[in-house]
Structure 1
Amino acid sequence: MSVQLVLDVLSEAFMKILVVAGPVVIVAMIVGLIISIFQATTQIQEQTLSFVPKLLAIFLTLILAGNFMLNTLLQFTQSIFKIIASL
């Protein structure tokens, strides 16, 4: 097993992490920004006002993009097992 192969696998793993976690993080940031703007304009500083909508948005994102995320991780796992089998 060469150093280049390890670096390639790690690079691909980091890219998969960004692809899989990206949609959830982006949705959470957008919803958080919208809620913080709403709180700043209305001067309502209730903690559950920011937590519950973010939680619902994350669950909805996981429901909608879960199949894509799972397939991406499965393909990566299969490629790792192919690399292991070829060693």
Structure 2
Amino acid sequence: MAEADVIEIIQLAIWTTLVAAGPSVFAAMFVGVAIALFQALTQVQEITLTFIPKIVVILVTISFSAAFMGAQIGRMTEVLYGRIETGF
């Protein structure tokens, strides 16, 4: 296996991770910013106010995007198995 193969596999793994985790991370970021704006406007500085909405939104996002995430991971697995089969 050459260095280029290793770099390509690592690049594929990082890209798959970013694409699969993207919807959940963006949803959590959006909710976090919205709650921070709400806290700044109302001057309610409750630390625990951010956790429950983020957890709920992340769980809902994962439940809706689970098929997409599985497809991305499955696609990466097929590429890796194909490379193993052909000997890189």
TM range, normalised to the smaller chain?
over 0.9
| Partner residue, 2:39 | 39
Q: Which structure 1 residue ranges, 4+ long, deviate > 3 Å from structure 2?
A: none
| Partner residue, 1:61 | 61
Q: CA deviation at 1:47?
A: 2.2
Q: Aligned residue pairs: how many?
A: 87
> Unmatched 5+ residue regions in structure 2?
none
Q: Which structure 2 residues correspond to residues 1-87 of structure 1 after superposition, within 5 A? A: 1-87=1-87
Q: What is the TM-score normalised by the length of structure 2?
A: 0.92
> Unmatched 5+ residue regions in structure 1?
none
Q: Percent identity, please.
A: 37
**What is the RMSD of the two structures over their aligned residues, measured on CA atoms?**
0.9
1:55-83 Cα offsets, whole Å, 9 max, x none, are 11101110111110011101111210111
Q: What is the TM-score normalised by the length of structure 1?
A: 0.93
CA distance in 2, matches of 1:35, 1:14: 30
